[in-house]
Structure 1
Amino acid sequence: MMKAFLLPAAICLASLSACGKPSDPVQNAASVENVVVPAAETPATADPAPANATATAKPLALDPLKDGDESGMEPGCFCSFATGNDQLLQVAATKAILRIDGALKICNITQEQSSALSGGEGAFTCEGYRITVKGQGEMQQMGEDTSGRDATLTIARGTETKTYKGGMGCAC
């Protein structure tokens, strides 16, 4: 049942022109930005990296959700962050799912966090990762029960961050 909304939402989110809205191909192009913050600027609560972490650590990466990943999600309305046709985050009620470095993460979030994310902006922490969605522009209606907006998703772990440009949308 959820699948009926996933593909259209992902297509619409990647480029609002697919839903009949004007589009700026440069602004809506899926892009990834790596940022490393110098250690002097990190919060005191950050986990210290091992001395050889730079040489052996795998780069931080979100992978697209796979068919069946949402099977543990509650039925009903949901929100997704997508870049192009790749869905990177799905939120329903008090659960969020995403794939970090290939591993499926099912995260418990509060109702307040879920509501903020459904508005296109919000943040939560899951297994030591900080995930932040920041909306850009107004929320657009893309159908009777679907809305979305351009957004960025940033994932952070310790001093490493990666930002994805795409769209956050919700469907019921």
Structure 2
Amino acid sequence: MSSDQVLAEIAVSMPGREARMRRGVRIPDRSGITDATPLSLDVAARIAFPDGSMSRLSLRNAATRGDLGHARIGGRVYTTLAEIERMVAARWVEAEPRQTTHRRTSAENAEFKEEAGAATARALQIAENLRQTLTRKMPKCRSLRPAPADIRRAVLPAEIAP
């Protein structure tokens, strides 16, 4: 069992008293804390986020960015639970309703296939027209067969010719 688990069990076994946590931080009884009670960032993080998802450092960074209202007294940073609630509310993202996709009926589906078939037929017709136009305008290409050896010798320099 880790030291955090032991300290958590001690905190639960001592209701109504302050529980001593790591780094000497005392977590006061929740009944004595109001939304306006100034709390150190470590204590505020532990009370507002009991699952440990937010740390003192996270709250300090939020305060530095201006997201979290805080007071700096004697070199220490304090905040309230109300300020943490305000920060969370400002960052809260509402769930958007799911967008359903439109399902085609069988009649719409048949019409869609018809339109797609017509578009394909038109594209094939355009391609055939282009092919005919290009073959009329382009001269016949020579065969890509290799030239006879005697022509290669005449065209290529002697050191390269076979």
TM-score tier (shorter): under 0.3
TM-score of the aligned structures, taking structure 1 as reference length: 0.22
User: In proportion to residue count, which structure has more helix?
Assistant: 2
Q: Which has the larger radius of gyration?
A: 2
User: In proportion to residue count, which structure has more strand?
Assistant: 1
TM-score of the aligned structures, taking structure 2 as reference length: 0.23
